[in-house]
Amino acid sequence: MNTFNALISASNVSVFKHQKSILKNIDIQINKNDFITIIGPNGAGKTMLLKCLMGFYKPNFGEIQKKDKLKIGYMPQSINVINTMPITVKNFITVRKKYDDISFKQVISEVDIRHLVDKQLSVLSGGEMQRVLLARSLLNNPDLLVLDEPAQNLDISGQLSFYKLIQEIYSKRDISILMVSHDLHLVMVSTKKVLCLSNHICCSGKPQQVAQDPEFISMFGKDMANMMAVYQHTNNPSHSDSNFLIGDKNN
Amino acid sequence: METKITDPFILRGILAGIAVALISGLVGCFVVWRRMSYYGESIAHSSLLGVGLGILLGTGINFGIIVVCLIFGILFLWLQQNKILSTDTLLGVLAHLALSIGIIVISLNRIKIDIHAFLFGDILTVSSNDLWWMYLGVILVIILVSINWSSLLLVTIDEDLARAEGINPIYINLLLTTVLTIVVAVSLQIIGLLLITAMLIIPAATSRRLAGSPQQMALFATLIGIFSVILGIFLSVEVDAPSGPSIVIVSATLFFLSYLFGLIKKD
């Protein structure tokens, strides 16, 4: 079997809920140093697929294999901050984590939240909260980072700097990334593979292939496909501002 | 008859009250964070059925309370999975059903107990034997919460985050149900089933304004609880009032005082 080296491999996974098909015959394999972005309309089963792959939802059919001792860092879309609970950022990041001082300091400088560690969780802004959640998911040096619409609640400049950060983490660490995102035009040069989901896998492959796929165009429209094509042609060193969009690690 | 503070029954009452405070502050923090006050209230209501059955079957009230409250809690957690009814509706049905069956069981069998004492607490009912049971419950709750402290915190903050780190939230919910049940059993004689929720909520809510971390909040809630219990029992002896309401009045006064100081500090 060639799945031996995969971090996670799912074959023929199907999920039904209330007689409705949520996921249908999904095959997916996540390998070392992969950067996979899952896109798809609302209700396409994106979050369910993540839950199945991480092992906290058991699919009705199919098989999911995980590599032994695989360390997964999970960053949810958001958390409901409990105002009645006094808790500092440092306390939150390290709750139930085995860590040492050096790796903690490394992570907080990596996501640039040194100035936040002693603040209460309840006073953070949306962008600060996302960085804190990212820091938490990185603390135990995961092999695989799973991100569920990580920039959903940010404004456009927040999204840009967040994806830049993700790109930096991907290029500096020996890590695989599995991400659900709607902001395909912002992540598509970093991402190595795009998986277009609408209960079943409509199409998958390199971003530029997917953008030309008829199923992709019918789902997202020509404008999105054109926009993706434009972003690919910005691969030009003079555009230093948009440098992070260019995944030099992959080229 | 003149009562003195050094009378043995008052000392027993104070020791029982401290037992309550040692765990109600700790568990109460989770009740506040997770907005489970109605759940706590419901478990307390179902305890009267435990009292009735415990006396009827001769197993003792503590055993009756633990068994009935645990069954109630697990039944609720199981029904909640279906998500057909909202949590508060489901609790409203089950809690009052259990309370009603409890009162019927007690009255049908002409059991000679003072329901009033179970509703509002009475320090006269505490025997030395009861104290042993109470402190056994206290030790059990402190051990259970301490070893699972970080898992409890993480599940409270975000269930998916906890799942991703290998915790099954169902076990944590069962654990909380268990410790709530023990808190109810320990509190019943001193606080009374109608006021147990107050002992869970008020010290924790007061402590929120003073604390900077979850651990601190639990510690301060416990200290506030101990202070309320001691002062409340003195007060109840002084004016010959039920112990539960006296303790609750003291702790609510502290709550408003802390609120007032918070306002002044802001100016």
CATH number of the domain residue A24 falls in: 3.40.50.300
Rounded to whole angstroms, what are the CA distances from B203 to A61, A106, A129, A235, B120? Answer: 49, 39, 30, 61, 18
Q: Which of residues 49-68 of A touch B (CB under 8 A)?
A: 51, 54, 56
Indicate if the pLDDT at residue B3 is higher than 70. Answer: no
The answer to whether position A126 is within a domain reads: no
Distance CA B237, CA B226 (A): 17
> Does residue B105 sit at the A interface (CB-CB below 8 Å)?
no
pLDDT of residue B222: 98
Distance CA B260, CA A63 (A): 59
With contacts defined as CB-CB under 8 Å, which chain B residues touch A88?
212-213
* Per-state percent for chain A, helix, strand, coil, to nearest 5: 40, 25, 35
Distance CA A22, CA A50 (A): 12
CA angle B172, B179, B124 (to 5 degrees): 170
Indicate if the pLDDT at residue B208 is higher than 50. Answer: yes
Describe the crossing of helices B8-33 and B214-239 by its angle, rounded to 10 degrees.
140
**A40 CA to centre of own chain:** 14
Q: A210: domain range? A: 2-70+143-245
- The Cα of B211 is separated from the nearest Cα of chain A by a number of Å equal to 7
Amino acid at A77: Q
Distance CA B208, CA B51 (A): 34
> Does residue B170 sit at the A interface (CB-CB below 8 Å)?
no
- The Cα of A179 is separated from the nearest Cα of chain B by a number of Å equal to 15
Does the model's ipTM exceed the 0.90 cut?
Answer: no
Determine what percent of chain B is predicted with pLDDT higher than 90. Answer: 65
> Does residue A152 sit at the B interface (CB-CB below 8 Å)?
no
- Among A22-26, A89-93, B1-5, B192-196, the range scoring the smallest mean pLDDT is B1-5
Domain count, chain A: 1
The single-letter DSSP state of residue A85 is S
Mean local confidence (pLDDT), A65-74: 92
The single-letter DSSP state of residue A121 is G
Residue A5 — pLDDT band, cuts 50, 70, 90?
Answer: confident
- Among B97-111, B164-178, B213-227, B238-252, the range scoring the smallest mean pLDDT is B97-111
The answer to whether position A42 is within a domain reads: yes
Higher pLDDT pick, A36 / B262? A36
Q: Select the residue of B161, B167, B217 nearest A86 (Cβ to Cβ).
A: B217
Indicate if the pLDDT at residue B55 is higher than 90. Answer: no
Tokens of B126: 């505490």
The answer to whether position A61 is within a domain reads: yes
Distance CA B89, CA B86 (A): 5
| CATH number listed for the domain at residues B8-266 | 1.10.3470.10
Burial B42-73 (b: 16+ CB within 10 A, else e): bbbbbbbbbbbbbbeeeeebbbbbbbbbbebb
* Structural contact between residues B33 and A85, judged by C-beta atoms closer than 8 angstroms: yes
Distance CA B225, CA B218 (A): 10
pLDDT tens, A115-159?
999 999 999 999 999 999 999 999 989 999 999 999 888 888 889
CB contact under 8 A, B150 and A96: yes
- The Cα of B117 is separated from the nearest Cα of chain A by a number of Å equal to 33
Mean local confidence (pLDDT), B237-262: 92
pLDDT of residue B107: 85
The answer to whether position A78 is within a domain reads: no
Residue A116 φ then ψ, to 5°: -100, -15
The answer to whether position A56 is within a domain reads: yes
Element (H, E) at A137: helix A126-138
Which residues does residue A75 pair with via DSSP β-bridges, in sequence order?
A: A147
Mean local confidence (pLDDT), B134-153: 97
pLDDT of residue B20: 96
With contacts defined as CB-CB under 8 Å, which chain B residues touch A92?
157
**A221 CA to centre of own chain:** 23
Tokens of A83: 């105002």
Amino acid at B46: S
